[in-house]
Amino acid sequence: MSVVPAPVSGPAHEESKAVKPVQPAVVTPPAQPPVTPPASAPEAQPEPAKAPAESALTGQILYQFLLGEIAAQRGDLKLASDAYADLATKTRDVRVVRRAAEMAIYDRDMAKAAAMSKLWVELEPKSAQARQLLITSLISLGRLDEAKPVLEAYLHEESQPVGPTFSQVHNLLALSKNKPAALALLKELAAEYPSVPEAHLAVAQSELDQGQNDQALTELDEALRLAPGSETAALLKGQALSGQDDAKSLAYWKGFLAQHPDATRVRLAYARGLVRAGRFDEGRGEFETLLKKSPDSPELHLAVGLLAMQMNDLDGAELHFKQALKLGYPDEGLIEMYLGQVSEVRQHYDQALEWYGRVTTGEHAFQAGLKAAMMLGQLHKVDEALDSLKKMDTGGDAENAVRIVQTEAQILREAGRYKEAVGLLSQSLAQTPDAGDLLYDRAMLEEKLDDLSAMETDLRRLIKLQPDSAQAYNALGYTLVDRTSRIEEGIALLDTALKLSPDDAFILDSMGWGEYKAGRLDESIDYLRRAYKGRADPEIAAHLGEVLWKKGEQDEARRVWQEAFKLHPDNDLLRKTMASFGQ
Which ranges of 260-279 does DSSP label H, i.e. alpha helix? 264-276
- Compute the distance between CA of residue 83 and CA of residue 532 in angstroms, rounded to an integer: 73
Please tell me the least confidently modeled range out of 24-38, 291-305, 340-354, 498-512: 24-38
CA 571 to chain centre: 34
Q: Quick check: 14 pLDDT over 60? A: no
pLDDT given at position 539: 94
DSSP secondary structure letters along 61-76: HHHHHHHHHHHHHTT-
DSSP symbol at 296: T
Q: How many beta carbons lie within 10 A of that of residue 303, not counting itself?
A: 27
The CA distances from residue 363 to 312, 337, 540, in Å, are 26, 11, 35
pLDDT tens across 46-79, in order?
A: 444 444 444 554 556 666 666 666 766 777 677 7
Domains, the chain: 505-580 (1.25.40.10)
pLDDT given at position 71: 67
Which ranges of 74-161 does DSSP label H, i.e. alpha helix? 77-91, 94-106, 110-123, 128-140, 144-156
pLDDT tens across 397-433, in order?
A: 889 999 999 999 999 999 999 999 999 999 999 999 9
Q: Quick check: 3 pLDDT over 50? A: no
- Region of 211 on the Ramachandran plot (φ > 0 left; ψ -120 to 50 alpha; else beta): left
CA 491 to chain centre: 36
- The answer to whether the predicted template modeling score (pTM) of the entire model surpasses 0.85 is no
- Among 293, 300, 367, 288, CA closest to 327: 300
pLDDT given at position 6: 37
pLDDT given at position 103: 79
Q: Quick check: 202 pLDDT over 60? A: yes
Highest-scoring range by mean pLDDT, 2-6, 164-168, 391-395, 420-424: 420-424
- Compute the distance between CA of residue 164 and CA of residue 498 in angstroms, rounded to an integer: 51
- Compute the distance between CA of residue 453 and CA of residue 309 in angstroms, rounded to an integer: 40
Confidence label for 24 from pLDDT (cuts 50, 70 and 90): very low
CA 123 to chain centre: 46
DSSP secondary structure letters along 393-455: --TT-HHHHHHHHHHHHHHHHHTT-HHHHHHHHHHHHHH-TT-HHHHHHHHHHHHHTT-HHHH
Confidence label for 152 from pLDDT (cuts 50, 70 and 90): confident
Residues 87, 115 contacting (CB under 8 angstroms): no
pLDDT tens across 361-380, in order?
A: 999 999 999 999 999 999 99
Confidence label for 340 from pLDDT (cuts 50, 70 and 90): very high
Please tell me the least confidently modeled range out of 94-103, 381-390, 428-437, 520-529: 94-103
- Compute the distance between CA of residue 379 and CA of residue 348 in angstroms, rounded to an integer: 10
pLDDT given at position 16: 35
CB contact set of 429 (below 8 Å; sequence gap of 6+): 435, 438, 439, 442
CB contact set of 62 (below 8 Å; sequence gap of 6+): none
pLDDT given at position 338: 97
- Among 549, 548, 537, 547, CA closest to 574: 537
- Compute the distance between CA of residue 548 and CA of residue 531 in angstroms, rounded to an integer: 14
CB half-sphere exposure, 225, CA atoms < 13 A = 9
- Compute the distance between CA of residue 543 and CA of residue 581 in angstroms, rounded to an integer: 12
- Among 490, 472, 471, 469, CA closest to 481: 490
First to last CA, the chain: 29
- Compute the distance between CA of residue 577 and CA of residue 583 in angstroms, rounded to an integer: 8
Q: Quick check: 294 pLDDT over 60? A: yes
Contacts of range 58-61, beta carbons closer than 8 Å, 24 or more positions apart: 61/87, 61/91, 61/96
- Among 35, 34, 89, 81, CA closest to 61: 89
CA dihedral 121→64→104→79, nearest 10 degrees, is: -160
